[in-house]
Structure 1
Amino acid sequence: MDIMDPFTSELLSAPGAAGQATEFESDDAYLRAIGALPPRRPRAPASVDHPATLLPSSLMLPSSCVIQPAVEASKKRAAPEPVSDVPSAAPKNPAKRPRTRCPYLPDYDADIDFNLREKERNATQRPSPDYLRTVQGGRMCERTRADLVVWMDELAQHHRLAPGTLHRAVSYVDRVLSARALSARGGDDHKLRLLCAAAVFTAAKYEDRSAVLRLNAADIAKYCGFAGSKEVTAMEREMLATLRYELGGPTAHTFVDHFTRNSRGERNMEVRRVAHRLAHTSLLDYGCLRFLPSAVAATALFLARLIVDPAGSQEFFEDLTGYKPEDLIEGMQSLL
Structure 2
Amino acid sequence: MCEAYVSDIYEYLHNMEVHRRPIADYIEKVQKDVGINMRGVLIDWLVEVTEEYKLLSHTLYLIVSYIDRFLSTKVLNRKRLQLLGVSSMLIAARITIVAQEDYELSSYMQLEFLGYYLAELSLLEYGCLKFLPSMVAASVIFLSRFTLKPRAHPWVRTRGLNSLILIEKGSGILFSYNNMYSHLQNLALEQLCHGPRPV
- State if a TM-score over 0.5 links the two structures: yes
RMSD, aligned CA? 2.6
**Unmatched runs of 5 consecutive residues or more in structure 1:** 1-92, 98-109, 212-265
* Alpha-carbon distance in 1 for matches of 2:121, 2:47: 11
* Alpha-carbon distance in 1 for matches of 2:60, 2:36: 18
Contact 1:272 1:301 in 2 (8 A): no
Q: Does 1:180 align with 2:20?
A: no
Q: What's the counterpart of residue 157 of structure 1? A: 51
2:42 maps to a residue whose letter is L
Which residues of 2 match residues 291-302 of structure 1 at below 5 A? 291-302=131-142
1:303 maps to a residue whose letter is L
**Larger helix percent:** 2
Q: What's the counterpart of residue 196 of structure 1? A: 85
- If asked which structure has higher relative contact order (CA below 8 Å, sep 6+), I would say 2
Q: Does 1:133 align with 2:28?
A: yes
What is the total number of aligned residue pairs between the two structures? Answer: 167
SS in 1 for 2:64: helix
Q: Does 1:333 align with 2:175?
A: yes
TM-score normalised by structure 2 residue count? 0.73
* Alpha-carbon distance in 2 for matches of 1:300, 1:146: 20
Q: Does 1:206 align with 2:95?
A: yes
Shift of 1:143: 1.5
Contact 1:318 1:324 in 2 (8 A): no
Larger Rg: 1
Q: What's the counterpart of residue 195 of structure 2? A: none
Shift of 1:205: 1.2
* Alpha-carbon distance in 1 for matches of 2:81, 2:160: 39
TM-score normalised by structure 1 residue count? 0.45
* Alpha-carbon distance in 2 for matches of 1:324, 1:279: 16
**Unmatched runs of 5 consecutive residues or more in structure 2:** 100-106, 179-199
2:170 maps to a residue whose letter is L
Identity %: 31
* Counterpart pick for 2:156 among 312, 315, 319: 315
Cα distance change of structure 1 residues 324 and 206 upon mapping to structure 2, 3 Å threshold: closer
Shift of 1:148: 0.8
Shift of 1:306: 0.9
* Alpha-carbon distance in 2 for matches of 1:278, 1:194: 27
Q: Does 1:167 align with 2:7?
A: no
Cα distance change of structure 1 residues 183 and 334 upon mapping to structure 2, 3 Å threshold: farther
Contact 2:30 2:72 in 1 (8 A): yes
